[in-house]
Amino acid sequence: MRKRRNRNASERIQAPILTAVIESLDQEGRGVTHVEGKTIFVEGALPNEKVSFQSQQIKPSYEVANVVEVMKQSNLRVTPHCRHFGICGGCKLQHLDFAAQVAAKQRLLENDLWHISKVKAENMLPPLYGPTWGYRHKARLSVKYVAKKQRVLVGFIEKGTSFVADMNSCEVLVPEVSRLIEPLQHLILQLSIKDKLPQIELAVGEKIAERLVIVLILRILDALDMQDEILLKAFADEHEVQIWTQTKGPETIRPFHPQHLPHVDADAKTHALAQLQYSLPEFGLTYPFKPNEFTQVNPQINQVMIRRAMQLLTPQANERIADFFCGIGNFTLPIARSGAKVLGLEGLANLVERAQESAELNAIDHVEFSVADLFKMTPEALAELGRFEKWLVDPPRDGAFELIKSIQAQSSPQRIVYVSCNPATLARDAGILVNEKGYTLSAAGVINMFPHTAHVESIAMFELL
């Protein structure tokens, strides 16, 4: 390996091209190596590859580099499926064999548990797989009008920049949505507000009358004129989508076209309402939701994840079970199907309202939902809820630190099933449960909710023995 030349601290000086062997992957899917004791994160490199690289970001304790040449290729390297790979920042692992992606995520989970909290699972669960392409049912697409080229870009952000990627398809989006990217570019270019439309949020529900329900929320910063309205309505009708608009905060989200969902036609062999919804057939459940409300982006793997959570939780009739960070009741209602008495707690009032509606729709009456700021939980507030035999915890990326810290002897459940979207905060909370609260980490494993990305979803079970 060639030694690095001395240079001053200015990042304007071009870094030399160096050579190294990649040791591992980090949490963002970058190759990791060390040069003269300094950590280098190399975009596009895989473990065991010998690469030449050039640093683009130089910090005192680490550097971020791009691959110049792969000199010795990993046998796990594959040809990326998407033509926009390497430009679009949406997927970072398409160049790695799919099974190897999941194995790398499992290793990352194990490493975080050990290095952050010195915790090991007694049993590492087999990873949960789902569809590898066309799985994404929710996303936010950025929009940019490029005046010099008289073009509109619609897509994800470029890798390593703040620019919108020049793309006309996306392999991880539902195909019906991927095919809308180019027509959306042409549509927006014709609008008077083409430079005042920075984002499109999309949500896809399951099929109704053999057709996916697709909603596009246009974030608009100026008023539509009459011609804009004509064009948007024609687009919605031609592509059979719903267009909603958002002018300011989430409270301003409104249906634009069609403004009213169709009425029930008793003679038609169609669903009564063209509304967003997903189902859990195994539990006989249907969940309506609004396009801006949180639901899992991958409905197929969501079904598998819930099945595993129920296998670990083993809810029994008449048990008292808490579902913390319950959202719209994704786990709450399947737990309640067992006959257990369930309390779902969630910080957002609109999600609690939707969960209550779903409980009524599915005729479940032994479940209760309430609004609670779980990031401000205290031992006293937790004790006031009473004792539960079991918990289901599904927090956002920040984890459930205050909730876990609040556990006392009188409020400690016998079993906790923890669903995580961030292995680092799971590991932190696992350390508290195991090292301070007396729990054993009985099982843990990854859920490949986001194939081809570095995102790691996981599930863990803690027990008091």
Catalytic residues: 421
Looking only at the bridges linking them, the beta strands covering 285-288 and 320-324 are unpaired
Cis peptide before 315 (omega within 30 of 0): no
User: Which DSSP symbol is given to 176?
Assistant: H
Cα-only R_g, the chain: 24
CA distances to 215, 342, 366 from 318, in Å: 40, 9, 10
Closest by Cα among 147, 120, 225, 124 to 444: 124
Cis peptide before 258 (omega within 30 of 0): yes
Question: Tokens 């009032």 label which residue?
Answer: 349
CA distances to 122, 247, 349, 364, 415 from 252, in Å: 49, 6, 16, 31, 41
CA atoms within 13 A on the CB side of 356: 12
Residue type, 193: I
Closest by Cα among 218, 201, 423 to 295: 201
Closest by Cα among 207, 227, 206, 218 to 256: 218
Distance CA 374, CA 288 (A): 25
